[in-house]
Amino acid sequence: MDYVNAHLLWSVDELKSRLQDSKLVLMDMRPPEAYSNGHIPGARSFDIFGISLIDTRPEPLHAFLWMMEHLIQAKGVNTDSTVVVYDDIAGMRSARLFWFLEFFGHDDVHMLNGGFNAWQAAGLPTTHESSIPKSGNFKMEPRPERLATVEDVRANLNNPSIVIVDTRSDGEYTGQVVRSARGGAIPGAVHLEWTNNLDAKGFFKPADELKTMYAEQNITPEKEVIPHCQGAYRSAHTYLALRLIGYPKVRNYLGSWGEWGNRLDLPIEHPNRA
């Protein structure tokens, strides 16, 4: 596929060959009921889907990141762990933990391409067994260049070298679907829904297709790219897609529309439906 950073994705074959690695921490990001119905052997259930931040000012951001650090520690992640994340497909749940770990300075993190569906389709074993891991020694070393706050976004609304990408649905982008105090979009944001990163089977599209798709939207490698959605899940997926094809400056807006749409002092627009 010729991804610039192909190591960020693992195939089912690579995961199969590494399942007995003592440093492997395999995270199942699906809902607990899906995990209990069967999961990849050795996987730990880590459902953080409801844990979001809607205030990226310094004090609440610091508290939120401290909490995330301790949740990751509690799942047995060490500083030298090889972390592999998955959900049903190469999805947004696993992308969000992938982004957190990269932001926290943990480079040895990967997503299972195709997710649990690909594992099952390959006829590989699943289990209902689980265990409680020993707490790890993971420590965050945040990389500010991988996170965007509300002030980062507001300060760059008219900056031609920065592109803000709205990864939400059409309805959310146009304001037809309202999930905060206000519906609409961040002024000037380019709309490209996160699902466009995937093929019909839930794998990331080949590198050439991703590069062409983003270039056609004038989202190009020399620019800094700030994706956002409602709670930084879907935008984390776009973060990973851009990392795969070698974009050097990508920052996930952690507060996303959950913050922007609820801040009445911030500007919005209501784009026309395409």
- Catalytic positions: 229
Write the burial class of residue 151 (CB in 10 Å: 0-12 exposed, 13-18 middle, 19+ buried).
Answer: exposed
Could you write out the DSSP letters of every residue in 209-273? Answer: HHHHHHHHTT--TTSEEEEE-SSSSHHHHHHHHHHHTT-S-B-EESSHHHHHTT-TTS--B-PPP
Check the CA dihedral 65-66-67-73 and report its sign: positive
Helix runs in the chain, H state only: 12-18, 32-36, 58-74, 92-103, 115-121, 150-155, 170-174, 207-216, 234-244, 256-260
225 in Cβ contact with 213 (< 8 Å):
no
CB neighbours of residue 264 within 10 Å = 8
Q: Is the dihedral of CA 195, 200, 203, 204 positive or negative?
A: negative
List CB contacts of 10: < 8 A, sequence separation 6 or more: 18, 84, 110, 111, 112, 113
The C-alpha atoms of residue 135 and residue 155 are separated, in whole angstroms, by 40
- Residue 107 near residue 26 (C-beta atoms within 8 A): no
Nearest to 8 by CA among 141, 258, 207, 230: 207
